[in-house]
Structure 1
């Protein structure tokens, strides 16, 4: 059985030795920089784990799996510019370390290199995979635009938010699993189940991010707890709080959202207390568990021996239990 940690090490080695280009250095150094910042690498790992269910030879799945991660980091590079984010994984973002124009152009090359990593796909699978890659890439961009639209709106609904994170986050996880299934030789129904698993897990994963931003352990979370509250970011928690709050609680919540000058720690504690009073943490945890349960149900429905699914199921359980 291909254990997740073994496959992850293979991926790390491939990324460390992969060349995106050399000259001009100003174009390629930012790519090497953002890829060297690491991250969880769980998207390409999902591709390899899905492929391993149906095939013992993962050589054909390795570069396409890397393509998923390069594309993901391309979106992060451009998202950071749009968000004016100063840090990525605790280090300066590319546009801060260089400049916005360099980050835009280097990001463009990353997208091209993501396509390069798909070139060795067998001819009988190439059209299907390329079509799904393009569809997924467009959906991720649609999700980012919706996220930006929400910044200027005060009435975002739960349904709209779930639709946005499905596009911005979940579809790429669905594609990562689907891609592995196709490359491994899975039948059409199994490929559909793999995509559904990734899509639902992606929703659970993003809601877990929203939750950890408020209630996570700062020593484990890896970034400032309460950052979403400080920025008035339309997260699942804030949307639910605005829907459920009444009377003085609603007035207080709206006051903190409207304030332009405030003490960060004071605001985080005040809004967090409102969330606790409204039971937002418990409600969000319930939603997270529902989406992960749906994802796991799709994986359990795959018609293969349980031993073939064991590595993927183990890794998914780690995602469910993560604290950062």
Structure 2
């Protein structure tokens, strides 16, 4: 049995010795920097766990799995520029530590290096993998554009929001699992089940992030609780509150959203109370469980007796239970 901890150590060791390029240093140092900031690395881990169900030789899956993580961090580097974010994982973002132009160019090279890592795939599988990767990459960009579009709208529906996070976040999770199956030679039906599992779980993870930002334990969550409320970020919770609030609650919510100057702690407390009165937490938890259940159901449908299927399921259940 191959356990997630062993695979994670292997992935990290590969990243530690991997070179993205050397000169000019101003181009490559930011890449090494953002990749050294850590992160959960669960996308490449999911690729290896999926591959392990159907093939014990995981060496051929290592570099393609790394490609998923490099691409993910490329999107983070560019997202940080668009969001003007000062911090990433508690450290200065690349555009803050260097400058925006450097962050754009270094991010571009990261995308190229992701393709370099994918080229390690066997020739007979390469075209199909690149087609799926290209579609996924385009969808991630589509999701980011929708997210930016939503910044100027107050009529975003639940359906639109779910569609946006599916593109921006969950399709890459789906691809990570799908990729493992493709590399290991799984059949088309199995690959589709793996993708569906990741897609649904990805939506569940984003909804859980939205929930934890308001109701999470600050010591476990790892960042400021209530940050989305302070920024008027259109999360699942706010969208549901805007659709459900009536009368005095609607007046209060609209007033808090319209203020340019306010006490942050007071705003977080007031908006959270509105969420409580509208039972937004329970509704969100129901949605989270719904998407996680769909994802786990897809994994359970995999037709294999491999013990690694149970390893993958157990790892997914640990991710579902996370509080940060």
Tell me the TM-score normalised to structure 1 length: 0.99
Is the contact made by 2:2 and 2:308 (CA closer than 8 Å) also made in structure 1?
no
Counterpart residue number, 1:144: 144
Q: CA deviation at 1:319?
A: 1.1
Q: Is residue 121 of structure 2 the alignment partner of residue 124 of structure 1?
A: no
Q: Is residue 204 of structure 2 the alignment partner of residue 204 of structure 1?
A: yes
- SS of 1:5's equivalent in the other structure is helix
In the comparison of the two structures, how many residue pairs are matched? Answer: 324
Matches of 2:262 and 2:305, distance apart in 1: 57
Matches of 1:267 and 1:40, distance apart in 2: 31
Matches of 1:215 and 1:296, distance apart in 2: 25
Counterpart residue number, 1:172: 172
Matches of 2:153 and 2:27, distance apart in 1: 36
Deviation per CA, 1:95-122: give whole Å up to 9, x if none: 0011000000000000000000011211
Q: CA deviation at 1:186?
A: 0.6
Counterpart residue number, 1:267: 267
Counterpart residue number, 1:238: 238
Counterpart residue number, 1:153: 153
- SS of 1:67's equivalent in the other structure is helix
User: What residue ranges of structure 2 are gaps of 5+ in the alignment?
Assistant: none
Alignment of 1:263-302 (within 5 A): 263-302=263-302
Matches of 1:10 and 1:197, distance apart in 2: 24
- SS of 1:117's equivalent in the other structure is helix
Counterpart residue number, 1:110: 110
Flag the 1:117–1:278 CA change in 2: closer, same or farther, 3 A: same
Q: Is residue 43 of structure 2 the alignment partner of residue 43 of structure 1?
A: yes
Counterpart residue number, 2:75: 75
Counterpart residue number, 1:193: 193
Q: CA deviation at 1:310?
A: 1.2
Counterpart residue number, 2:24: 24
Q: CA deviation at 1:306?
A: 5.6
Counterpart residue number, 2:213: 213
Matches of 2:255 and 2:3, distance apart in 1: 50
Matches of 1:227 and 1:162, distance apart in 2: 20
Is the contact made by 2:175 and 2:195 (CA closer than 8 Å) also made in structure 1?
yes
Matches of 1:306 and 1:241, distance apart in 2: 44
RMSD: 0.6
Q: CA deviation at 1:308?
A: 2.8
Matches of 1:91 and 1:223, distance apart in 2: 12
Q: CA deviation at 1:21?
A: 0.4
Matches of 1:134 and 1:306, distance apart in 2: 30
Matches of 1:243 and 1:281, distance apart in 2: 14
- SS of 1:241's equivalent in the other structure is helix
Regions of 4+ moved over 6 Å: none
Is the contact made by 2:86 and 2:96 (CA closer than 8 Å) also made in structure 1?
yes
Matches of 2:97 and 2:224, distance apart in 1: 20
Counterpart residue number, 1:312: 312
Counterpart residue number, 2:52: 52
Deviation per CA, 1:60-107: give whole Å up to 9, x if none: 100000000000000000000000000000101000011000000000
Matches of 2:123 and 2:91, distance apart in 1: 40
User: What residue ranges of structure 1 are gaps of 5+ in the alignment?
Assistant: none
Deviation per CA, 1:169-214: give whole Å up to 9, x if none: 0100000000000011111100000000000000000000000111
Matches of 2:307 and 2:118, distance apart in 1: 29
Counterpart residue number, 1:4: 4
